[in-house]
Amino acid sequence: MDNRRIGVFDSGLGGLTVMKELMALLPNESLVYFGDTGRIPYGTKSEETVLKYTRSDINFLQTFHLKAIIAACGTASSIALPKLSGQYDIPLLGVTKAASRRAAAVTRNGRVGVIGTTGTIRSGAYRSFLEEENPEIQTVSVACPMFVPLVEYGYAEKEAAKMIAKDYLQEIIESGADTLILGCTHYPLLKKVIGEVLGDSVTLINPGECVAGDVKKLLEENDLLSKEKQTEQYQFYVSDDPAEFIRLGSMFLERPIDGLVSRIDIEKYN
């Protein structure tokens, strides 16, 4: 048994959908979340910048006594983690590989759709991971940059979201994919709209659920599960004003986080 914390980082709010899954699946674990709200978004940045930001995020989280770190950001998972593999003594898990493994396992016709930020789709990471699982899988990838602001401005279940989703997802529909990876951590909040557009025949893969399962397996196999809940079980840090993070973060988590969020200078950890 191991009562050390688990670290989670994201470019902003979206990683809270991963945090939510971890809270549900591993209720005794203590979690530290860092949202890089001062440098968001990662999805439009160069590979060099994403790598720099990811390193500093990990450096900050390593100031805590952690047993694992999760890249809850699809862009960081896709672009930075493959390059950082083996550079740290602590296990690093990302949403991209976990979701790819699940999609490869559940697809019935070998056609998998991927939607994500511009950076995630440009990286081709999902395609690569899917081909590692099964070289015969056909992947169709579509960048959906408008989905993030739709979620953050409260339009996730409004008609505007459905209209934009119909446009973005047309290529997925035409491809005949029977499985779709929600390749950005904001997108689970659009699951209802996406499901309505694609229909019941398409299985939606939530990367947060997938990586939470991987974390649980890692902890169980290495006897690292926490024995009991710790004081200050959940801690949240941001790199900009916490006010907006508190407001929207409570919506992402479906629980209040007021009073639990601190601001830090992430530039100190470059």
Which one of 50, 148, 164, 184 is the catalytic residue? 184
* AA identity, residue 52: K
Active site residue: 73, 99, 112, 137, which one?
Answer: 73
Q: DSSP labels for 155-166? A: -TTSHHHHHHHH
Q: What does the block give as tokens for 154?
A: 């409260």
Residue 264, phi then psi, degrees to nearest 5: -130, 160
Q: Per DSSP, which regions of the chain are E strands?
A: 5-10, 31-35, 66-71, 92-94, 111-116, 138-143, 179-182, 203-205, 234-238, 261-263
Contacts (Cβ under 8 Å, ≥6 apart) of 216: 25, 26
Strand partners, 115: 142, 182
* Euclidean distance between CA atoms 35 and 11, whole angstroms: 5
| Burial of residue 117, with CB atoms counted within 10 A of its CB: 0-12 exposed, 13-18 middle, 19 or more buried | buried
**d(C-alpha 24, C-alpha 20), whole Å:** 6
What are the tokens at 94? 């990302």
Cα(40)–Cα(155) distance, integer angstroms: 20
Distance CA 113, CA 46 (A): 24
Task: Verify whether residue 184 is a known catalytic residue.
Answer: yes
Cα→Cα distances 35→12, 15, 264, Å: 4, 8, 10
Instruction: Return the active site residues.
Output: 73, 184
